[in-house]
Structure 1
Amino acid sequence: MADAADKKSPIGFWASSTEKHSIIEDIQGVVAGSMLAALGVTMLAAAHLLIGGTAGLGFLLRYSVDISFGTAFFLLNLPFYWLAYKRLGLAFTVKTFAAVALTSVLTGILPKLITFDSIEPITAALFGGLLIGCGMLVLFRHRASLGGFGILALYLQDRLGWRAGFVQLGLDCVVLFLSFFVASPFVIACSIVAAVTLNLTLAINHRTDRYIVR
């Protein structure tokens, strides 16, 4: 009986076990992951860098047309929710929608609260990529993502066993290739550093056979 008590708390929505996160834990995970990702995006934007995935497409639109990153990022993710619902379930879809919406809002607010008078591009790439990667890692461990390519990467990992970080890295390379139309070679090189940092963080730290809590 003591073992059962250790595994699960009796307090309703706070209840968690070795196999499942509680509702409160999931809310905290979605908020924390979104905050880390938004701060990473803010650092990259301050250095005028890009990144892969739908976030990278959001940056491309931000630099090409008169639209905010948050708006572009939110809209670009809309087509992926159907795949998330059909393949990964309603709970994953709802948490991912919340993470994308919160990240979109925060990326519009943070530049008004945090400013960088001077930020070296390589530094922004390393720390920004790491922050976004850590944010996505938190979200992945709570069965959520930042949408877009993250949904596809998680789906392929669950179905085919492909490592999510490496799948996303390949897709990010396509986005970064498109960056040649709007950015200088140096900016693109720094952006590649950010993408590699982000995806190595995921590839090394996220494996479904090591972390099984849902």
Structure 2
Amino acid sequence: MSENKFLSGIMNSTPDRHSLLEDAQGIITGSMITCVGIMMLKAGGLLTGGTAGLAFLLFYTSGMSFGLAFFLVNLPFYYFAWRRVGLAFTVKTFIAVGLTSALTSIVPQFVTIGDTNPFAGGLFGGMLVGAGLLIFFRHSASLGGFGILGLYLQDRFGIKAGYVQMVLDGMVLVMSFFVASPYIIICSVAGAVVINMVLAINHRRDRYVAM
């Protein structure tokens, strides 16, 4: 009886709440999709906004692996997530960031994306990253950093998470002028806009209520 109850808790969902199994597959799927999107951005020599953008800056300027840089720059945001959004969100976000960081370090050893036109890389890479973030958001997780702040402001004040991230992403991209050419910056901005438009258009609590 206790075993059946345990399995029921893992597998059963309700109209307004995901099961543990659904959350697990969502975080894994989101991490895989985001990993491929990041690989496309890297193949085009692009940057992006948010903590991923900060990780790209470290990657291009210090030689640190993107996965490690991405994990480290997100560490300060976990306390804010725990205090403002909740423990469950913080734990799932920590797992999502850790898994995505690991995949971006491991997957390129098995899958290679060749030379990529920067503009195409921005559009397609941005679309994939945006889709990955959308999956995370719908399972009450994020990729840390600005995503945490965006979700908090949306839930607390009704400001769309995508628009919040777009403003903050722009600030990160301004710093990119020190490490990239104007054309690469333009293509990077296009990718950042795609990411955040995917979120702004598709992530609405009144349309998707499961947690």
Aligned AA for 2:158? G
Q: For residue 116 of structure 2, what is the aligned residue in structure 1?
A: 119
**Aligned pair partner of 1:191 in 173, 188, 193:** 188
Q: For residue 21 of structure 2, what is the aligned residue in structure 1?
A: 24
Deviation at 1:12, TM superposition (A): 2.6
Distance 1:166 1:136 in 2: 14
Distance 2:91 2:8 in 1: 23
| Count, aligned residues | 205
Q: For residue 181 of structure 1, what is the aligned residue in structure 2?
A: 178
1:152 paired to 2:149: yes
Distance 1:117 1:78 in 2: 32
**Aligned pair partner of 1:169 in 155, 166, 182:** 166
Distance 1:207 1:189 in 2: 28
Q: For residue 36 of structure 2, what is the aligned residue in structure 1?
A: 39
Distance 1:22 1:193 in 2: 36
Superposed CA deviations along residues 135-164 of structure 1, whole A, max 9, x for unmatched, are: 000000000000000000001001111000
TM-score computed with the length of structure 2 as normaliser = 0.95
Runs (5+) with no aligned partner, structure 2: 1-6
2:39 and 2:113 in contact (8 A); partners too: no
Aligned AA for 2:22? E
TM-score computed with the length of structure 1 as normaliser = 0.94
1:42 and 1:110 in contact (8 A); partners too: no
Aligned AA for 2:92? K
Distance 2:150 2:100 in 1: 19
Deviation at 1:121, TM superposition (A): 1.0
1:208 paired to 2:209: no
Give the fraction of aligned pairs with identical amino acids, expressed as a percent.
58
Root mean square deviation of aligned Cα = 0.9
Q: Which runs of 4+ in 1 moved over 3 A?
A: none
Distance 2:17 2:139 in 1: 9
Deviation at 1:116, TM superposition (A): 2.3
1:97 paired to 2:94: yes
Deviation at 1:126, TM superposition (A): 0.7
